[in-house]
Amino acid sequence: MRAPILFAILAAGLPAAASAQSNTNVRTLSVDANVPRACAIGAPQLAAGAQINFRGLNGTTLQIDRMVDPTTLATNAASVDVTFEAICNLPHRIRLETQNNGLWQTSEVTPARVEGFGFAIPYRARLDWADDSLQLNADAQVRRITDSSLFVNQSRMGDIRLRLEIDAGASNNRANAPILAGFYGDTLRITLEPQQ
């Protein structure tokens, strides 16, 4: 007698489960998002084994170790490679800009120019971004902003590589001219500009 009662309870439970499945409702939800046009450049890093006559990188400042030969006071050669992680999620323009067009004295009071001495130092910069590259020649003839730019027609990510080179004897006067005493500097800017 107990078996039929059990069967009746199970049978009573089956129709309720079947009817719950037949009352299922479906709702849809749309999800929208907007990815902004963006480019980003990371902190500079020295490329391993690629520096000559540079002390290294302190934050975003490169410092030349020995600017001039102690005997002739002419400029020593120097070169360095710096990399920056970068990404742009659309076509963009990459621009390299020098604020002074060379290494110029940075003191607030401009020293008197002396015949035969150099008072600014030219250099070259090369920027590589994947298969593209651009050159900037900071000739130190006139203190001014100088730039070079390149349009990249696709999204890109990877390392930007910047190479700076100063030739031995370089000056804004003549080759191997002695350089006037003082602190010298320039500011380089690398810009990734999103394009439509």
- Sequence-distant (6+) residues with CB within 8 A of 84 are 41, 42, 43, 44, 45, 159, 160, 162, 190
pTM exceeds 0.85: no
Residue 71, classed as helix, strand or coil, is coil
Q: Kindly give the confidence (pLDDT) of every residue in the chain, 196 residues in length, as a single tens digit, with 9 standing for 90 and above.
A: 333 433 344 444 555 555 555 688 899 999 999 999 999 999 999 988 778 999 988 999 999 999 999 999 999 999 999 999 999 999 999 999 999 999 999 876 666 678 899 999 999 999 999 999 999 999 999 999 999 999 999 999 999 999 999 999 999 999 999 999 999 999 999 999 998 7
Residue 22, classed as helix, strand or coil, is helix
Q: Residue 108: its pLDDT value, please?
A: 61
Alpha-carbon distance of 100 to 5, in angstroms, equals: 98
Query: Can you list the domains of the chain with their CATH numbers?
Result: 39-194 (2.60.120)
